[in-house]
Each structure stands twice: as C-alpha cells, then as structure tokens.
A and B are shown apart, each in its own frame.
Chain A
Amino acid sequence: MEALSVPAALELVAGCGAGLSPERRAALGTSLPLLQRDYRFERVWFWGCIQGVRGSYYIAEGLGPDRAAPRSRLYSLNCVDWSLLTPATKEMLALAEQVKGRFQGDPSFEYSLAEINAEAAASLIGSGKEPVMKEEARLIATIEQIDREVGVVPRGAFVKTPLGSVHENRHFEGLSSVEAKKLSSYFHFADPVNLKNKTLLEKADLDPSTDFLDSLEHDIPRGSWSIQLEKGGTVVVLRSLLWLGLTFYHVPMTKQFGYVYFGTGEKNLDLPFML
C-alpha cells in the first residue's frame, strides 16, 4: 500500500484482525518519507509484516520510475530503522522452498541445511560455503515469492508505454462495482507467464497498454482467492488462500487500492485439501 495512504488503508484491511499498533503507525508515518528522501525512491510502499516467533519484520518497498522494474526492499524490526535487502537470487529461492516452519524473528538466525536437504548442503560445502541458510536470505526469498505469486493490482491501474516502462495510469478512476466482483479484473503485478498462451481471439480483445499482465482468473488451484465485499459493500477485499495473510483492498469507483501482507510468511501447501 502507498506509504501516504497507510492509515486509511489499514482501516480497510483490518477485517482480518491484523493491523499495526498506534506506535508502529506513527513510526511508519515518519520513517517512510525519510526513506523516500534518502534512497530517492519515487514511490514507497508499505509491504507488510512477517511475524516470527520472537519478533516481527516490517517490510517496505521502494519503486523507481519504471514501476515494473525489480523493487528495492527494506526491512525493519521496529518501523524506525530500516535496512536494505539484497535482491533475490535463484539459489536463494530454491533453498527457501526447502526451509519450512516459522520465521524466528532474528535476522542472523541460521537454518542448518544438513537436516533439511542433504544435497543442497553437500553442494554448498562443495562450493566452499557453510551449509546454512540465513534467515535474512529466507526473508528475501519469501518476499519475492509472495510478490510474484500474489501481488495484485486492478486492471487499468498501470499502463505500459510503447518503450516498455510501466507507469500509473492517471486516468484510472477505479473499477466499477460490477467489474470489481470479478476475478478477471485483477492482475498479478509480475512478469506475465500465461499471456502468450492465450488464443488469438482472446488476444484480439486485449488492449496492449493495460492488459499486459496475467489475470487472477486462471490461477491454479481454482478458488485460491476469496473475494468479499466488506463495510456494507463499499470495499472489495481479496484474500489469498495460498499465502494466508495477503489482503488486497480496492474501493470501487475511486483510485484507492493496495495490498499488504500480515502473516507468518509460510505458503499454505495444504490448500488443495482445504478447499
């Protein structure tokens, strides 16, 4: 969610019971603008909070002029002091899938890979590193995965210029109430995977400036999004069932939208049994 709209947005997302204490909210209000100044981001998004056993990580993302470029991520333990995270690598992503269980809340905690995956441990030892995975790396990989798999934006909110860069659409006035209830009006804000597989007929209907991302309609498994109208139908809230805790909100016919994650940072692999 946009840094400036955090207070209002938190009210809209509070239906799942998670939120921020007044202390953290106040701290965010002061530290996020400072982040924007120091790192010269064009936009700062408050991404959410991953709750570990002993402490929580608060995550913020900074975006440059091209909104679809890889984002810089920062984490903090108290919403006041922020540290930059390195971009995610494929190795990190592969290792993080093996590590299961809660986050500990301590960024320097090390997961011993020997117990989890002997092969990965052996390969790491072979390349001269220790067979451990740091919690920080797991954090980076988890955030990247969540953004890629369940980061959501409404259709038409972003436009792609012919040069390839992506901007906010200043003419976006919100989805209508009818459109807002359909899953096809929401897109994954990540590199599209399924667009090329569409038939030519479907592609003919698409508008290349706004329909350049994958929609949520064809997500596997079907039903992995719960779409609800809250507050008497004024807010559309999408909750992901694959990553429990990811909540996306949008007020139809207005420009307000955003997503935030409040959860334990674990993928819900039991989803097919639970539907």
Chain B
Amino acid sequence: HGPYQPHEPGYGLDQPGYNPYEDEIPDPQARMLAIKNAKAYLLKTSTKSGLNLYDHFANILTKILDEQPTNTVDIIENISKDVKWAQFRKKMDTLRDEPLIPPTFEAAEKYKALFVKQGGEEEQEGVEEEMGQPALPNVMEAAFYFEQAGIGLNKDESYYIFLALKNLIRVQPIQTCRFWGKILGLEMNYIIAEVQLREGEQEEETGEEGEGTTAEGEKETGEAGEQDEEKEAGPPKSTYKPPPPIPKEPNGTGTNKYVYFVCNEPGKPWVKLPPVTPAQIVCARKIKKFFTGWLDAPVVSFPPFPGNEANYLRAQIARISAGTHVSPTGFYQFGDEEEEEEEGGADTCEENPEFEPPPVAEMVESLSTWAHHVKGILKQGRCVWINPVQKSEENEEEDDEEEEEEEGEEQQEERGPPLLTLISEDEGMKDIPAWTTQASTNLIPEYSVAILKSNRWPGAYAFASGGKFENIYFGWGHKYSPESYTPELPPPAEAEFPSGPEITETADPTVEEEMAFKIAQEEALAEAEEEEDEEGEDD
C-alpha cells in the first residue's frame, strides 16, 4: 500500500501538487479519475454469467426504491437473488409459450350463459297462470335460513344453482322442483335437484321391459333343463333357481316418488338419474364407497353393486330422503280416504291448510314436533312390501304374526313405520340420539330458527321458522355408524354331497391280502377236488 511514513520514498506524492508527473499531465480531479476507475471495474462483465456488478446494483436499488419493503437490510440477499433470477429468465426465453387460456375463463363463460335471459317469456307466463304454485323453489330464501345455522354454500354458488334450476324447469316438463342438496365426490361434486314431473310426461323406462324379458328367459331355461334331464342321462342339472328379482316400485310411488336430476356444476347440463331398484338399495346398504364425480364410473365392491355410479348415487339419495326428510308435525296430513287396511298404509299425504306452526322454542325442545314425510325403506329395498314368490291366492297380510324364519320358502311380510311418524321415535345409535336440535341463535330468541341436524346421516339438515321449513343435504353421502365398516363376508361354501356307503370308496386290497385270498381260494378248490375224488372213488 501507499507510503505512509515521511521517511518512505514517495511519501506525499499523492497530494495534489506533489505528483511526480504533475508537470506533464495536469489532472486536478484525481478523485474523478478514481471514480472512473472504480466504475470501470464495476462494469466489468462476468465471464460466467454475462452480468456486471454495476447493472446488478442498479437493478437492486431500483427494485428496492420501487417496492420499499420493510427491514430491507435483512432481506437484501433474497432481493439480489430475485433480481438475478429475473435476468436469467428473460435471457433464455427464445421460444415464447402460447398464452395459456386458464380454465377459469371457460368456466366464467359457462356461468355467464346462466345469466342470459332466455326467450320464451310468453310461454312462461302462460304456464304460471295454469298452475297455482310456481315450480321454481326460492333457493335464496332457504339458503338464508340455513345460513343462520352456519350451513350452506356461499351466496354466489347458491345463486348459480338458482339459475341452473330455472333452466332445468324451462327444459323439462316439471311440476314441482326442489334443491335437494350437494354430494361431494373425489374429482367432482354433484348438485342434485328433486323433481316431480308432470303427470303423463313420464317416459316408459326400457329397464322395465328388460326385467320382464329376463324373468321370462329364466323360466324358459328352467323348463328346457327339465326336458333335457328326461331325454338324456347326462350329468344332473343344477336345480338351483336364484330367487326372483324383486320388482322395482313404479315411478311416482315409494322410493321412486321423485325424479332426480344431477349436474357437476351449475351451468353444466342436468342429467336424469334412473329409477332405483330394491336390489340396488339392498346392496347400497352393504357397501361404503366414495363418489368420484363421474356418473358412468363403475362401482367396484363386494357384494358387487348392480349398476354404475349413477345407480349408486340414486340409491344413496333414496336412502337419505327416506331417513331424513322431515317436516313440522301437522304440516302434512293424510287425505280423506284413509286406507289403513292396504299393505303399508297410505302412501300420499297432502298439505294441511289449517296448519299452525308451533313456536320455535317448542320445535327446538321436543322432537315430537317433527315428522317424517317420506316413507321409510323396508329391508326388502322397497317402501311397500311385495311377496316375490307368487304363490296361491293366500291372504299374505296375515302372515306377519309368524315368528319362525324359514329361509327361502316363505318370506315374512315387512311393515315399516307408517308415513307420518314423529322423529322422536327414531332410534339412536348407542348413546347418540338420532337427531340434534339447535336454535340458530341464543342471543336473539325472537328471530331464531329451529335447526335439526341428523346424526345418522351426517350432513342432513332441516330448518323450520314460522310456517316455512326445508330439508337439505351437504355431505359425502354415507351413513354414520359408530363401529367401523366391515365388508360382507363371502357366502359359506356349498355343502358337499353327503357321504354314505354307496359312494364311499373302498380301499384296494393290499398285496398280502390278495395273496392270502388267493391261497384260501386255492385251498378251497383243492378241498372241493378232493371231495369229488372221494365221491368218485366211492362209486
């Protein structure tokens, strides 16, 4: 470094005026020169990255002064790294990516379509004059009441569903319509609308015809089998006849009282779910599977589910409706024609025009102010019991007193609870009651809403306030069980043919036994010859 001590040579030469070369190059601005040198050093391009420190510092300072973050000195290294990173990106980009159209814009288009007012306003007005009630439910009103309990989707989604339901009504011949709820799935969710089609507009399902033909087909093969037995002495044909399939309930009654439409998102087209068969309900009770969100996905399970995800979804919807759709007691009443002697009791109920809603406090305290208005599903999978084996014209209604259980021969008639049962009679599981009641707010009791939450089907809710009530479901679509799910065991192995003496194998005789037998035979022969000889000699 420079000479510091006065006795060192060259001391004092850096002062202005003492430079040895001063008389040759007068440069009063040595400081400026130093600055230029320093700047030239900073501008040196790095051999590795092509950046230079001067530009880098300039960028950092620009960024800091633009963004003005707090505690800059602590994050200065991060900022430096970020600036370098940004540089690299720009340099290496010779190919430009196509601007990706994110799916958000497509979805926004779809939602926008919901908002476009469709033509045919005159039709709509005409239709409304004919029918007394508007078919479109007030989804936003129900959403408001449920929101008081903390249940429900956000307002935007509720409004989209409202508009989607309006589209559904416009397209399909619908008499009444209701937002049933939302079932979550792994990849997509289902939004479900419960609908009653106008009478006479229901199409004949091809499924029914198919069932008829299969039943006939079975009978034919059975007869053919018997004929074959008589003709040939072939291996014995199996006399096993599978139990006849239980016919599904006709559209408009029992489990198929309502028709359900689903869509994955509001704005997507609504798909009609097929009617449910008892076999599907019976199987759905034994399995527990997540929904994937695709209606045509197969349901892989044991026992094998007769159908795909659309059928499984429909079966779960039927079970949830039957188990959790409730209304204040007295809202619905039986019609004037009380047909108690028919199998299963009355099937329909109508609104009671003289219904007076009990106060909310009472609805919260006691469960007897609520009643089911959907028929429960029997073990058979139907709401109305049917004897699958069509025997003689015995009056089967009197068989339900039998206590014996004869497998396969006669089946007991099942009777479920009648239609307007109070929910206080629902059984709980262990020590958990079937329903939990709650008032929406304890702070303002005069405006609170009575809320029912189901414990058997977590996700099923109902509210009542004044004369208004509504049921809804938000969940994964499964029943709650306090024990873990155990899949059904495979059926026991078939019994073998009973072993009796005619088919038991006898053991082959061993060599010793054979020799002994042979010797004994020869001895017997020899004795017989001797006797003959003796007799011959006597003569």
| A20 touches which of B150, B155, B475 (Cβ 8 Å) | B150
| CB 8 Å contact bits of A49-65 with B (1 = contact, 0 = none) | 00101100000000000
Asked whether B441 lies within 8 Å of A23 as measured between CB atoms, the reply is yes
Asked whether B78 lies within 8 Å of A19 as measured between CB atoms, the reply is no
Residues of chain B within 8 A (CB-CB) of A226 are 184-187
Asked whether A270 lies within 8 Å of B147 as measured between CB atoms, the reply is no
- With A171-B82, A228-B189 as known contacts, state yes or no: A270 contacts B485, CB within 8 Å: yes
Asked whether A244 lies within 8 Å of B182 as measured between CB atoms, the reply is no
- With A244-B476, A270-B484 as known contacts, state yes or no: A223 contacts B186, CB within 8 Å: yes
Asked whether A232 lies within 8 Å of B443 as measured between CB atoms, the reply is no
| CB 8 Å contact bits of A99-128 with B (1 = contact, 0 = none) | 011100000000000000000000000000
Q: How far apart are A76's CB and chain B's nearest CB, in angstroms?
A: 14
In the bound complex, what is the Cα–Cα distance between A273 and B361 (angstroms)? 42
- With A234-B104, A274-B288 as known contacts, state yes or no: A16 contacts B184, CB within 8 Å: yes
Is A11 part of the contact surface with B, judged by Cβ < 8 Å? Answer: yes
| A19 touches which of B102, B106, B150, B433 (Cβ 8 Å) | B150
Asked whether B432 lies within 8 Å of A101 as measured between CB atoms, the reply is yes
Residues of chain A within 8 A (CB-CB) of B289 are 273-275
In the bound complex, what is the Cα–Cα distance between A266 and B245 (angstroms)? 38
- With A17-B152, A231-B156, A233-B104 as known contacts, state yes or no: A53 contacts B436, CB within 8 Å: yes
| A21 touches which of B182, B440, B475 (Cβ 8 Å) | B440
In the bound complex, what is the Cα–Cα distance between A78 and B370 (angstroms)? 26
Residue of B whose beta carbon sits closest to that of A24: B150
Within 8 A of B (CB), among A177-197: 177
Q: How far apart are B292's CB and chain A's nearest CB, in angstroms?
A: 9
Residues of chain B within 8 A (CB-CB) of A239 are 184
| A16 touches which of B290, B474, B478 (Cβ 8 Å) | B474
Asked whether B455 lies within 8 Å of A17 as measured between CB atoms, the reply is no
Interface size class of B (residues with CB under 8 A): 35 or more
Asked whether B436 lies within 8 Å of A101 as measured between CB atoms, the reply is no
Is A221 part of the contact surface with B, judged by Cβ < 8 Å? Answer: no
Is B458 part of the contact surface with A, judged by Cβ < 8 Å? Answer: yes
Asked whether A273 lies within 8 Å of B184 as measured between CB atoms, the reply is no
Within 8 A of A (CB), among B75-127: 75, 78, 82, 100, 102-104, 106-108, 110-111
Within 8 A of B (CB), among A1-36: 10-12, 14-24
Within 8 A of B (CB), among A38-82: 51, 53-54, 78
Residues of chain A within 8 A (CB-CB) of B157 are 14-15, 231
| B153 touches which of A15, A232, A244 (Cβ 8 Å) | A15
| B148 touches which of A22, A102, A223, A275 (Cβ 8 Å) | A22
Residues of chain A within 8 A (CB-CB) of B147 are 19, 21-22
In the bound complex, what is the Cα–Cα distance between A223 and B290 (angstroms)? 11
Is A241 part of the contact surface with B, judged by Cβ < 8 Å? Answer: yes
Is B13 part of the contact surface with A, judged by Cβ < 8 Å? Answer: no
Residues of chain B within 8 A (CB-CB) of A223 are 186
| B111 touches which of A23, A100, A232, A269 (Cβ 8 Å) | A232
Asked whether A11 lies within 8 Å of B154 as measured between CB atoms, the reply is yes
- With A16-B474, A17-B182 as known contacts, state yes or no: A228 contacts B152, CB within 8 Å: no
Asked whether A241 lies within 8 Å of B103 as measured between CB atoms, the reply is no
In the bound complex, what is the Cα–Cα distance between A275 and B184 (angstroms)? 14
Q: How far apart are A245's CB and chain B's nearest CB, in angstroms?
A: 9
Residues of chain B within 8 A (CB-CB) of A233 are 102-104, 106-107
In the bound complex, what is the Cα–Cα distance between A171 and B483 (angstroms)? 47
Residues of chain B within 8 A (CB-CB) of A22 are 147-148
Is A88 part of the contact surface with B, judged by Cβ < 8 Å? Answer: no
Among A12, A24, A232, max chain B CB count under 10 A is at A232
| B455 touches which of A12, A16, A53, A177 (Cβ 8 Å) | A53
In the bound complex, what is the Cα–Cα distance between A248 and B288 (angstroms)? 24
In the bound complex, what is the Cα–Cα distance between A193 and B321 (angstroms)? 44
Among B102, B185, B288, B431, max chain A CB count under 10 A is at B102
Residues of chain B within 8 A (CB-CB) of A19 are 147, 150-152, 154
Residue of B whose beta carbon sits closest to that of A54: B436
Asked whether A21 lies within 8 Å of B149 as measured between CB atoms, the reply is yes
- With A170-B69, A270-B485 as known contacts, state yes or no: A232 contacts B107, CB within 8 Å: yes
- With A170-B69, A232-B107 as known contacts, state yes or no: A17 contacts B482, CB within 8 Å: no
Q: How far apart are A118's CB and chain B's nearest CB, in angstroms?
A: 18
Q: How far apart are B488's CB and chain A's nearest CB, in angstroms?
A: 11
Q: How far apart are A94's CB and chain B's nearest CB, in angstroms?
A: 19
Residues of chain B within 8 A (CB-CB) of A100 are 482-483
In the bound complex, what is the Cα–Cα distance between A51 and B458 (angstroms)? 11
Residues of chain A within 8 A (CB-CB) of B108 are 232
Q: How far apart are A28's CB and chain B's nearest CB, in angstroms?
A: 12
Residues of chain B within 8 A (CB-CB) of A133 are none
Q: How far apart are B22's CB and chain A's nearest CB, in angstroms?
A: 53
Q: How far apart are A39's CB and chain B's nearest CB, in angstroms?
A: 24
Is B16 part of the contact surface with A, judged by Cβ < 8 Å? Answer: no
Q: How far apart are A182's CB and chain B's nearest CB, in angstroms?
A: 15
Residue of A whose beta carbon sits closest to that of B108: A232
| CB 8 Å contact bits of B278-294 with A (1 = contact, 0 = none) | 00000000001110000
Instruction: Rank and list the top 7 A-B pairs by shortest CB-CB distance, nearest first.
Output: A17-B474, A232-B107, A270-B485, A233-B103, A14-B154, A21-B150, A233-B104
Pairs across A and B, CB under 8 Å, 23 listed: A10-B154, A14-B154, A15-B154, A16-B474, A18-B474, A19-B152, A23-B148, A23-B441, A51-B453, A54-B436, A100-B482, A101-B431, A177-B100, A231-B107, A233-B103, A233-B104, A234-B104, A270-B288, A270-B484, A273-B487, A274-B288, A274-B290, A275-B289
B residues lining the A interface (CB < 8 Å): 69, 75, 78, 82, 100, 102-104, 106-108, 110-111, 147-157, 181-182, 184-189, 288-290, 430-433, 436, 440-443, 453, 455, 458-459, 474-476, 478, 482-485, 487
Q: A15-B189, A274-B289 are in contact. List 8 more A-B contacts (CB 8 A).
A: A11-B155, A14-B154, A17-B474, A20-B150, A23-B440, A100-B482, A101-B432, A170-B75
